[in-house]
C-alpha cells in the first residue's frame, strides 16, 4: 500500500505531484486577509464551486474560465505546482484545497481570509471517487466498487476519512468568514446558491450577470470547457484521459450500492456523525 500514495501524517495523498515538504509547508503558509479558499473533501463539487466563484469575480464574463485552466485560476494549496505558484502570487488569491483542518495553514485561524467549504452526500462522493480514481495512476486502484467501499469506510482513501474531514471543518461553521455549502442545495437551487456566495463575498450581480454565471458554470458548459474538464491532463503518467465531469447528479449511489451496503453506510454515518442534527445534511 505504501508505494501507491504519498503518506503524510497517516493520510494518503496522491502518488504524483505531492511531496512531504510541501505538505509540511502548508501548515506554515502565510494566509493574507484578502485570500479566499475553496475547501472540500475530494469529489464534493470543488471544481464546480471554483468555476462559479471565478465567474462571480468576472461578473459572468466567461473569458477567464475559457482561457486559463482551473488549477491556475485557483491553485491547489497542497500540490507541489499549486503551492509554488501561490507563494509568488500577488493580490487577493483564490485557492483550492482538500486538506483536513489539522493540516491547514495555522495563520488562517487568526486571519479574516474567507473559506467556502462544500459538502456532498458521502455516498455520492464514494461513487464519484471510485470511478475517477480507478482511471488514474495517482492512487492505489480499487479492483471493484466493493473494495473501494471498504477502503472508504475505513478512511483508507485519498485525503483520509470523509467523516473526520467533515467533523473537523464543521467546527468552523459558526465563524463569519466560513461559509458551508452543500452540493445538493447547489443542484436544487443553483441561482440561490450563487446569490449566497455573492452575499458572503460582498459582491453584487445584476440579473443578466447572474444568468451568465449560471449558464457558464452548468454541467454541460463545464464538460465542454477544456480549461475546466481536466482534458488538458494528457500525461500518461497520471491517467489515460481523465473525466472530471462524469454524471453531475445527486443520488447516483442508489444505482451502485447494494441494500446491505446502504444499511452498513447508514449505521456508520449515524455513529460517526453523532451530535450533528440529521437536518444539517440535505440528502435522503
Ligand atoms: S475533485 O477532483 O476531487 O476536485 O472533484 P470535485 O470537483 O470535487 O467533484 C467532482 C464531481 O463534481 C461534479 N461536477 C458537477 N456537478 C454538477 N454541475 C457541475 N457544473 C459540475 N462540475 C463538476 C462532477 O461531475 C463529479 O461528480 P460525479 O458524480 O462523478 O459526476
Rounded-to-integer distance, Cα 120 and Cα 243, Å: 19
2 pLDDT higher than 60: no
Residue range 71-118, pLDDT digits in tens: 999 999 999 999 999 998 988 999 999 999 999 999 999 999 999 999
Secondary-structure percent of the chain, ordered helix, strand, coil, rounded to 5: 50, 10, 40
Computed over every residue of the chain, the mean pLDDT equals 94
Which CATH number goes with the domain that contains 179? 3.40.50.300
Q: How far is the CA of 76 from the centre of ligand 1 (A)?
A: 16
Rounded-to-integer distance, Cα 44 and Cα 216, Å: 19
Indicate the SS3 state at residue 245. Answer: coil
Rounded-to-integer distance, Cα 119 and Cα 43, Å: 9
Rounded-to-integer distance, Cα 135 and Cα 11, Å: 21
Residue range 174-190, pLDDT digits in tens: 999 999 999 999 999 99
Which of 195, 37, 51, 183 has the alpha carbon at shortest distance from 116? 37
What pLDDT, on the 0 to 100 scale, is given for residue 137?
80
The ligand 1 site (C-beta within 6 Å) comprises 40, 42-48, 124, 128, 217-219, 222, 244-248, 252
Q: What is the pTM of this model?
A: 0.96
∠ Cα 274 38 120 (to 5°): 40
List of residues 6+ apart from 103 with CB closer than 8 A: 8, 9, 11, 23, 26, 27, 78
Q: How far is the CA of 38 from the centre of ligand 1 (A)?
A: 14
Percent of the chain with pLDDT over 70: 98
Atom of ligand 1 nearest to the CA of 228: 22
Which of 85, 91, 78 has the alpha carbon at shortest distance from 38? 78
Residue range 137-153, pLDDT digits in tens: 888 889 899 999 999 99
Domain count, the chain: 1
User: What average pLDDT does range 245-256 have in this prediction?
Assistant: 97
Residue nearest to atom 27 of ligand 1 (CA): 248
| Residue 98 known to be catalytic | yes
* All cell numbers assigned to 38: 475553496
Q: How far is the CA of 49 from the centre of ligand 1 (A)?
A: 9
Q: Which domain holds residue 25?
A: 2-280
Amino acid at each position: 500500500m505504501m508505494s501507491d500514495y504519498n503518506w503524510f501524517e497517516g493520510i494518503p495523498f496522491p502518488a504524483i505531484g505531492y511531496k512531504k515538504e510541501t505538505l509540511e509547508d502548508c501548515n506554515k503558509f502565510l494566509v493574507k486577509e484578502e485570500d479566499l479558499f475553496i475547501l472540500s473533501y475530494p469529489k464534493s463539487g470543488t471544481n464546480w464551486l471554483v468555476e462559479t466563484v471565478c465567474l462571480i469575480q468576472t461578473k459572468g464574463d466567461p473569458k477567464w474560465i475559457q482561457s486559463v485552466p482551473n488549477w491556475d485560476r485557483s491553485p491547489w494549496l497542497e500540490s507541489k505546482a499549486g503551492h509554488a505558484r501561490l507563494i509568488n502570487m500577488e493580490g487577493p488569491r483564490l485557492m483550492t484545497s482538500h486538506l483536513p483542518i489539522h493540516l491547514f495553514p495555522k495563520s488562517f485561524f487568526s486571519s479574516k481570509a474567507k473559506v467556502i467549504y462544500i459538502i456532498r452526500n458521502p455516498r455520492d462522493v464514494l461513487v464519484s471517487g471510485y470511478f475517477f480514481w480507478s482511471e488514474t495512476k495517482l492512487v492505489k486502484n480499487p479492483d471493484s466498487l466493493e473494495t473501494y467501499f471498504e477502503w472508504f469506510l475505513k478512511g483508507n482513501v485519498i485525503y483520509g476519512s470523509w467523516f473526520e474531514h467533515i467533523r473537523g471543518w464543521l467546527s468552523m461553521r459558526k465563524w463569519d468568514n466560513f461559509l458551508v455549502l452543500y452540493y445538493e442545495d447547489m443542484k436544487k437551487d443553483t441561482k440561490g446558491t450563487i446569490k449566497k456566495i455573492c452575499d458572503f463575498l460582498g459582491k453584487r450581480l445584476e440579473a443578466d450577470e447572474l444568468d451568465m454565471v449560471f449558464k457558464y458554470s452548468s454541467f454541460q458548459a463545464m464538460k465542454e470547457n477544456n480549461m475546466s474538464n481536466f482534458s488538458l491532463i494528457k500525461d500518461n503518467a497520471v491517467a489515460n484521459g481523465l473525466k472530471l465531469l462524469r454524471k453531475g447528479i445527486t443520488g447516483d449511489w442508489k444505482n451502485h450500492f447494494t441494500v446491505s451496503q446502504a444499511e452498513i453506510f447508514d449505521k456508520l454515518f449515524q455513529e460517526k456523525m453523532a451530535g450533528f442534527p440529521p437536518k444539517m445534511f440535505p440528502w435522503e
